[in-house]
Amino acid sequence: MLATLVDTFRRNLRSYILLMALLAIWIGFGIATPAFYSADHIQNVLTQMAIIGIMACGMVFVIVTGGIDLSVGFGAGFVSVVAAALLYFNTITKPLAALFPHMTPGTLEVVSAVVIVLLCLLLGALIGVFQGFIIAFLAVPPFITTLGGMFIFKSGILMVTKGKSLFISSNDTYKYIAQGLLPPMFGYVLVALVAVVLFTMVFRSRARKQKYGIELPHIALDLAKAGFFTLIVLGYVLVVNRAFDHEADASIRGVPFLVVILALIGLLMSYISTNTRFGRYAYAIGGNRDAARLSGINIRKYLFGIYVTMGALMGVSGIALAAYVGSGTTGAGGGYELDVIASCILGGTSTLGGEGTIFGAIIGALIMQSLGNGLQMMNVNSNVQYLIKGLVLILAVWADISMKKKKG
Amino acid sequence: MDQDLILDISGVSKTFPGVNALTDVSIQVRRGEIHGLCGENGAGKSTLMKILCGVYPHGTYTGTIQLDGHELKLGNTSIREAIDEGIAIVYQELTLIPNMTVGENIFLGKEPRNGVAIDWDRLYAETAALLKRFKLDISPHALIKDLGVGQMQMTEIAKALSEHAKVLILDEPTSALSAAEVDKLMQILVTLKAEGVTCLYISHKLEEFFRTTDTVSVLRDGRVVTTLPTPKLTVAKMVNLMVGREMTERFPKGERQPGEVFFQVAGLHALDPKNPSREVLKGVDFDLRKGEILGIAGLMGSGRTELVTTLFGEYGELTAGTILLDGQEIRIRSARQAMDHGISLVPEDRKGQGLVLRQTILENISLPNLDRFASFMRIDHDAELSEARSFARSLSIKAPSLQVPVETLSGGNQQKVVISKWLMSEPRILILDDPTRGIDVGAKFEIYKLMNHLAESGFGIIMISSELEEVLGMSDRVMVMWEGRSNGTLEIAEATQEKIMARATGIELAQES
């Protein structure tokens, strides 16, 4: 039992080390500033990292194929100011109202928010189509294409905003995307769902492994793992629902909507990475492009698809960004690309390609966000915050490299 | 010691686990001569070169090497050490930096300086003088990438000579050159000889020895068979010396009756995609029957690999010729199209082209075959695993599970993974490019048995091999390639090592049919 435990631990060493690093950061900051454990902060930290985390899910695929996307920061910023402009100038609401004069103001608000979200998703995907086409079919290196994209989208931001901030005051439905909390009841349903899914997965995968005679880890270990993750989700839901705080106002209880979006995207992308051709081919292309080509994989087609996916996720982040800050600003999204890339790398994605997980990237994003928030709460000057983030990134990669060297 | 000797290799032996790469090799090279070195693939030429340039440092081999009167003891710190001692090697693969000029390349790492700055005037003046001395018609300011392959080779030689080398080693310098470029190189070698440069000349093209060398040493199975003045040799005699060896019982003989011809290749011509002035395939004809193993023999650079990668749609485009499958002409422009026609290729470079090393056995086997298990949003892992398992089992891949990365496997097991991956794609024609290279004897035998089994069950198998014994031991017929052409197909009953070698070196030509 102990031997299998040690063995499993060793095989998943990397994810455990990452989780432990996160845990260490949380314990450290918790001791330094108790506010780190407050319901307010716990509710906020995941929302804040979601914009980065969503894009990191796409960036993992990009980096796995040996590429990079520098344009995601300003790209998301561009989408966010477009969304803000559509709301600020009532570009969608006015024609809708003219078209359907009997619509109540409430319905009109919801419908226009939905239309704007769809348009912005499309815009993100089109950005991906544009860059993906250049990278995959014109063979311009990703670094250069997306560096160019960075300038182009920055210009786009300035053209749309004309140097002003565009405030979104008219549409609360839209702001709900990043600021809304789901009813507490939903949180509990979520916990139940997670528990059912995790435990069914344990039994199904064990049954399958048994069928093929693959050695099974001890059932207690699998159950403990599922139980552990369920408990974490339960704990989170209890805290953000403020279940034990009877004083709290109903308006601050609940799981943030954006966190659920991040979780869904994370699960979807993680599923794609292991359970579809798209995911498999991405890893094969990054692992050995010649072998992939000689295996009959249409490399251009899949590279194109990966940048389109990245663009669509950039769109999602842009939509969330506008809703989160409540306005479209001239500096929107600037520098996010660095956080996104750093999250992936911290999460174990190799810049040489062929290696990396969605789960790792999301944990990486959470580590970066926790570091930032914790330092801020400790009143560490923001000049120093970047210094520390930079050192942590380098340290993490160095530790990983030296660990690999020891193993090989 | 004879004052006339510049390089005296005496009693050098080198073993690798399980193989004697060199056994008691002694070669004397006289000052100012061009000394040829020939032998079959795997005879030990490259091992000897690697010893001379310090890749295998002093102490990893036995015997002594005297250079210009003192013993050569190279560490393995860098290639610089051999250069400082006076040994310069021009490699088969060019080692120039494409975006730098001829002058910059020649003086790379030893740029003349003016204080801290590079003295460009002197660098280019010296380059010009060097090029002029050897009558090389190349501008010192030209970028390497703008040069032809031949000129690159000349630049490489000039670079070696700028080191004031005592011995210049040319390792198959003509393998990438066109006929005109070869002539030019031969002229330069004559000039060099007049300048008093000593050369060790390695080549697979036997007639070249008669154009340049004074003396030739023949290597076979890691031993020096003979060293003779070139005038005392003929190509036929050299071939005899290179292959004269006994066949051993290393090959399982299958029981099979090849069926009718179903795949025909006629008049194939193709250009080198990297050097379009060079034609790599200059007329290849052969056919393949169901249930047979067709061996393709030929020296390195004869176009064997180019032929099969072209058939697989991943090399040059055909400039002429037809490919018929079941009597229908087919066109193959990509690996996917080749697979759709039932053609599979186990590539020459197992690690570089056959496998994604970091991925698991399972992932590698199913890579070209995922379409069979996958719908748009789902891979059927159960089906994938069970099918991969049945292949792993029937090929007896030895591994703790299918979930281990292939980089942890032995060469033989890795090759079985590559073969599994291609068998799963249900090919009709399986092309194996040097399938047993770098694999130990036991695993080789298993792969031979597998090939026999596959042929018996009706596959058409094309096997390229660098080892003549393997070709003779495994094939039903042998197609010999020589300088990009097919030089006839021999029935196994009439094929001998000498006959194959005669065809591979072009001293015997197939009758036009």
| pLDDT of the residue at A10 | 61
- Give the span between the Cα atoms of A174 and A113, in whole angstroms: 5
Distance of CA B176 to the CA centre of its chain: 12
Residue with tokens 């003046």: B125
Whether chain B has a CB inside 8 Å of the CB on A298: the answer is yes
Instruction: Note the Cα B513 to chain centre separation in Å.
Output: 30
Per-residue pLDDT tens digits for A61-82: 999 999 999 999 999 999 999 9
Residues of B in contact with A208 (CB under 8 A): 381-382
* DSSP state letter for B250: -
Q: What's residue A16's pLDDT?
A: 79
The structural domains of chain A, with segments of one domain joined by +, span 34-179+276-407, 181-255
Q: Which of B356, B374, B382 has the CB atom closest to A284's CB atom?
A: B356
Supply B160's token pair.
């070696």
Q: What is the pLDDT of residue B183?
A: 82
pLDDT of residue B268: 92
**CATH top-level class for A34-179+276-407?**
mainly alpha
Residues of chain A in contact with residue B338, where contact means CB-CB under 8 angstroms, are 296
User: Scanning every residue of chain A, which has its alpha carbon at the shortest distance from the alpha carbon of B403?
Assistant: A214
Pick the CATH number of B249-342+427-513 from 3.30.930.10, 3.40.50.10860, 3.40.50.300, 3.40.50.740: 3.40.50.300
Put simply, the answer to whether A296 touches B368 (Cβ < 8 Å) is yes
Tell me if A277 and B371 make a contact (CB, 8 A cut-off): yes
Q: Confirm whether pTM is higher than 0.90.
A: no
What SS3 class is residue B304? helix
**Alpha-carbon distance A6 to A13, whole Å?**
10
A263-289 mean pLDDT: 93
* pLDDT at position A1 over 60: no
Lowest mean pLDDT among A376-380, B6-10, B74-78, B247-251: B247-251
How many helices (H) and strands (E) are present in chain B, helices listed first? 17, 24
Distance from CA of A355 to the nearest CA of B (A): 8
Number of neighbouring beta carbons within 10 Å of residue A400: 17
Whether B9 and B28 have beta carbons less than 8 Å apart is answered as yes
Pair type for strands B275-289 and B261-272: antiparallel
State yes or no: pLDDT of B76 exceeds 70. no
Mean pLDDT score of chain A: 90
Q: How many CB atoms lie within 10 A of CB A250?
A: 10
Mean per-residue pLDDT over chain B, rounded: 86
Q: Which of A33-47, A258-272, B134-148 has the highest mean pLDDT?
A: A258-272
The continuous run of DSSP H or E covering B207 comes out as helix B206-212
Residues from chain B that touch A277, judged by Cβ atoms under 8 A, are: 370-371, 374, 379
B5-243 is classed CATH 3.40.449.10: no
Residue B513's pLDDT band (boundaries 50, 70, 90)? very low
What integer pLDDT is reported at residue A7 of this predicted model? 59
**Chain A residues inside the 8 Å CB shell of B389:** 212
Binned at pLDDT 50, 70 and 90, residue B376 comes out as confident
- Specify the amino acid at residue A335: G
Mean pLDDT, range A28-32, rounded to an integer:
91
CB contact under 8 A, B354 and A291: yes
SS3 B407: helix
What is the tens place of the pLDDT at every residue in A163-203?
899 998 878 889 999 999 999 999 999 999 999 999 998 88
Q: Which long-range contacts (C-beta less than 8 Å, at least 24 apart) are formed by A130-136?
A: A130/A311, A131/A69, A131/A71, A131/A307, A131/A311, A132/A303, A132/A304, A132/A305, A132/A306, A132/A307, A132/A308, A132/A310, A132/A311, A133/A304, A135/A67, A135/A303, A135/A304, A135/A307, A136/A299, A136/A300, A136/A301, A136/A303, A136/A304, A136/A307
For B340, phi and psi rounded to 5 degrees? Answer: -60, -30
Angstroms from B24 CA to nearest CA on chain A: 35
DSSP conformation class of B499 = H
What local confidence, expressed as pLDDT, does residue B255 receive?
Answer: 78
Question: Which residues does chain B have within 8 Å of residue A298's beta carbon, measured at their own beta carbons?
Answer: 336
CB–CB contacts below 8 A, A to B: 82
Burial of B18 per CB tally in 10 Å (0-12, 13-18, 19+): exposed
pLDDT digits (tens, 9 = 90+) for B414-469: 999 999 999 998 899 999 998 887 776 667 888 898 899 899 988 999 999 877 88
Rounded distance between C-alpha atoms, residue A154 and residue A77, angstroms: 8
pLDDT band (50, 70, 90) for residue B42 = low
A214 touches chain B (CB under 8 A): yes
The residue ranking higher by pLDDT, A62 or B41, is A62
> Min CA distance, A193 vs chain B (Å)?
22
State the pLDDT confidence band at A28, using cuts at 50, 70 and 90. Answer: very high
Give me the DSSP letters along B74-127.
--SS-THHHHHHTEEEE-SS----TTSBHHHHHTTT---EETTEE-HHHHHHHH
The answer to whether the CB atoms of B356 and A275 lie below 8 A apart is no
User: Which among A212, A276, A283 has CB closest to B374?
Assistant: A276
Look at A296 and B359 and tell me if their CB atoms are within 8 Å. no
Find which of B315, B334, B360, B367 to mutate to test the A interface (most A CBs within 10 Å of its CB). B367
User: Is A247 in the B-facing interface, judged by CB distances under 8 Å?
Assistant: no
User: What's the pLDDT band for A6 if we cut at 50, 70, 90?
Assistant: low
Question: Which amino acid, A286?
Answer: G
Q: Is the pLDDT of residue A247 over 80?
A: yes
Question: How high is the pLDDT of residue A8?
Answer: 59
| Statement: residue B324 has pLDDT above 70 | yes
